[in-house]
Chains A and B, each alone.
Chain A
């Protein structure tokens, strides 16, 4: 009986401490020092919220860099991967279809290596990045859609290229940031 009384009291006090004081303290620190980041790294342009720097968006039209395949179509309120296994019929036929689209859009030869990140869908379905190889592959078709010199777009990819750490790791680009800048480029032949 004594143990039960302690249990209930303890649980109540811990709830107060770990469930109220602790998260509020962290929220306070976040609000003071990392207001933008703790608030979702929101990008606002001309007074409109256009997205979050960290969350990928769906790009299907020509003239934009395309992100990775997503099994939730970049719906950030319902994240998820395909969860298909390697011997699943649906998985393989999906990959074959995506490979075809890639070859078609970016004018690739049949035996050319397709960057893995363009072929396979991401874990969250919201991956904000693609590899630099995947971005470079898309430059030419974007250039012709926007009527801009390819070199300028390649330069843009170089500008936004980031690594996992400053001197280590694979190189990738943030698709949304790249596309925002792309949208701002004036047409100049």
Chain B
């Protein structure tokens, strides 16, 4: 990946390079020119909003467009707007059900394309941030268009082809045929949906997108039919985010740094997974007290994955910003729900989204270095770059803004009629449903406590606001920091510098992440999943 972004040769260069140069020629991109952070940001913003506009129109007009064998009508404007923003911001929150709303044309030309592009744009922003650390006294941080095409053409495209072929071999559908009507063994009728699913699912997993082809996402047998396809899709969620961390180490010529960041993330990842596994393998005392003996919670889980692989997926998808699911998060035990909310609440920095998750983690590092610097009374620095008030302000804004948006919008939802009417569950779990929706959209995750009926005017619009806040409040600050760091000189490491590759670093950064989380959203999480846990222990039902 490092070689790709710096334009060096790799084994796929001979095939991809002609496509890349063709793209530059046709669209008038000057490959050798570089951008400062503002131009980079403008290009990113323009690209995102144009993508939103096009996707919005495709959905509205899908009844007039080809490849619509089921004759689906145009999507309602508020739902179309929400979906367009959601896919273009790499969130893929879905208020609709794929198999009964979207035509093949929309899925392919609209959604699959944004699966690639939103991921590519996020990765570009991540690379630009890394350049901020690499460069000395430089005004520029790279070229958005070049970084985008390298992400899409060299990384996402080949991996997607490979993944979709493996998925098809397991039984994921890829077909333009009409839905098939079957006469079942007992004499009923079953309408079996098809579509170009494999190609879309591959990108959805790799690009931390997460928007399913079918309504229940990767729990749908055609989207994830076997244990092997499940393994493959789960690895695809993690591979690019983890690759980014190691690429960072390699690009700044400090592999130890990459490893230290990876270890910190893995520590938090495993802690969450452990809580979830323990909690899913425990039993609900209310059911037990009704005289029913059982061993583990299978509500909303598929037999072929079982508890273990459902929980692993659930942890992977909320820790990164993927948001695809292979089980229904709404029916997890309350404490598992708390872990999912925590993962998203801290901004999905445990591995994180393609490119942007890494950026989020850098914000936490800057904050940690600042705190560590204060403790010993030294100017904070990271990788030889002195961190000033400007970097601090930007980082804190980037960390707080999405969360504040999410908490505020949740507050509006719980105090309004239109917010409460979407609930599928009452009391504490209902609050969790609403919180989950806004945490997920503000964190650009896209998974859901799917019981919440969010395909209403109120939710479509407020969630859209959260989506935009989450995306731009991460990417623009990341670019701004990249810009201000690139200009700075590098100061050589001295014996007084804080070592950023050791255990102390890992402990401090993890600590800061947890404390930040506690300060921003623990109170409200206490009223949601934690309270529900206590209710469950007491046998109080709603």
Contact = CB atoms under 8 A, between A and B. Distances in A.
Instruction: Please determine whether chains A and B interact with each other in the same assembly.
Output: yes
Interface of A: 2-11, 13-15, 17-20, 22-23, 25-27, 29-30, 33-34, 37-42, 48-61, 64, 68, 74-89, 91-92, 95-96, 99, 110-117, 119-131, 164-165, 169-170, 172, 176, 179-180, 183
A49 B183 contact: yes
B180 A30 contact: no
B275 to A, nearest CB: 15
Which of B200, B219, B300 has the most C-beta atoms of chain A within 10 angstroms of its own C-beta?
A: B300
Interface centre among B182, B188, B326, B450 (most CB of A within 10 A): B182
B517 interface: no
B173 A183 contact: no
A13 to B, nearest CB: 6
A141 to B, nearest CB: 16
Contacts of B429: 85-88
Contacts of B293: 111-114
Contacts, number: 353
Contacts of B174: 23, 26-27, 30, 38
Contacts of B294: 113-116, 119
Interface stretch (B345-353, B361-369, B420-428): B420-428
B184 A50 contact: yes
Interface of B: 19, 23, 26-29, 39, 42-43, 46-47, 50-51, 54, 97, 99-100, 108-110, 112-113, 115-117, 145, 148, 152, 157, 160-161, 164-165, 168-177, 179-186, 188, 190-194, 196, 198-200, 202-203, 214-216, 219-222, 225, 227-228, 284, 286-287, 290-304, 306, 309-310, 325-328, 330-331, 333-334, 424-429, 432, 449-451, 532, 535-536, 540-542
B183 A80 contact: no
A38 B173 contact: yes
Given A37-B169, A121-B300, 18 more contacts: A10-B148, A14-B152, A18-B113, A30-B168, A30-B198, A40-B173, A40-B194, A55-B190, A58-B186, A77-B179, A79-B215, A80-B450, A83-B425, A84-B424, A113-B293, A123-B300, A123-B327, A127-B221
B319 to A, nearest CB: 20
The 8 closest A-B pairs by CB, nearest first: A83-B451, A85-B429, A123-B219, A9-B27, A120-B299, A81-B328, A116-B298, A129-B303
A64 B28 contact: no
Contacts of B326: 123
B156 to A, nearest CB: 9
A59 B177 contact: no
B205 to A, nearest CB: 14
Nearest to B175: A39
A57 B109 CA distance: 32
A169 B97 contact: no
B183 A48 contact: yes
A169 B227 CA distance: 9
A181 B516 CA distance: 58
A27 B196 contact: yes
A75 B188 CA distance: 10
B171 A37 contact: yes
A126 to B, nearest CB: 6
A26 B164 contact: yes
Contact of B450 (A37, A54, A83, A121): A83
A101 to B, nearest CB: 12
Given A13-B26, A78-B97, A83-B449, A122 B300 contact: yes
Centre residue among A23, A41, A77, A125 by max chain B CB count within 10 A: A23
User: Per DSSP, are chain A's interface residues mostly helix, strand or loop, or mixed?
Assistant: mixed
Given A27-B174, A92-B290, A119-B294, A125 B216 contact: yes
Given A10-B23, A18-B117, A83 B330 contact: yes
A116 B184 contact: no
Nearest to B424: A83
A130 B293 CA distance: 18
Contacts of A114: 292-294
Q: Which of A10, A34, A85 has the most C-beta atoms of chain B within 10 angstroms of its own C-beta?
A: A85
Contacts of B199: 22-23, 26-27
A109 to B, nearest CB: 10
Between A34, A41, A58, A83, the greatest number of chain B beta carbons within 10 A of the residue's beta carbon is seen for A83
A179 B185 CA distance: 8
Contacts of A59: 185-186
Contacts of A170: 303, 306
Contact of A124 (B50, B219, B333): B219
Which of A19, A33, A130 has the most chain B CB atoms closer than 10 A to its own CB? A19
Contacts of B299: 81-82, 84, 91, 120-121
A145 B46 CA distance: 67
Contacts of A20: 108-109
B541 A3 contact: no
Contacts of B109: 15, 19-20
B97 A76 contact: no
A83 B9 CA distance: 49
Nearest to B200: A23
A3 B304 contact: no
Contacts of B301: 120, 122-123
A128 B184 CA distance: 13
A33 B29 CA distance: 38
24 contacts: A11-B51, A19-B108, A22-B160, A26-B196, A30-B165, A33-B165, A34-B168, A38-B168, A39-B173, A40-B192, A41-B225, A54-B221, A75-B191, A76-B190, A83-B424, A84-B331, A92-B286, A92-B287, A96-B287, A111-B293, A113-B295, A117-B303, A120-B298, A122-B298
A63 B166 CA distance: 37
Contacts of B297: 86, 116, 120
Contacts of A113: 293-295
A7 B292 contact: no
A39 B290 contact: no
Contact of A7 (B47, B175, B303): B47
B229 to A, nearest CB: 10
B193 A131 contact: no
Contacts of B532: 85-87
Contact of B27 (A10, A50, A88, A116): A10
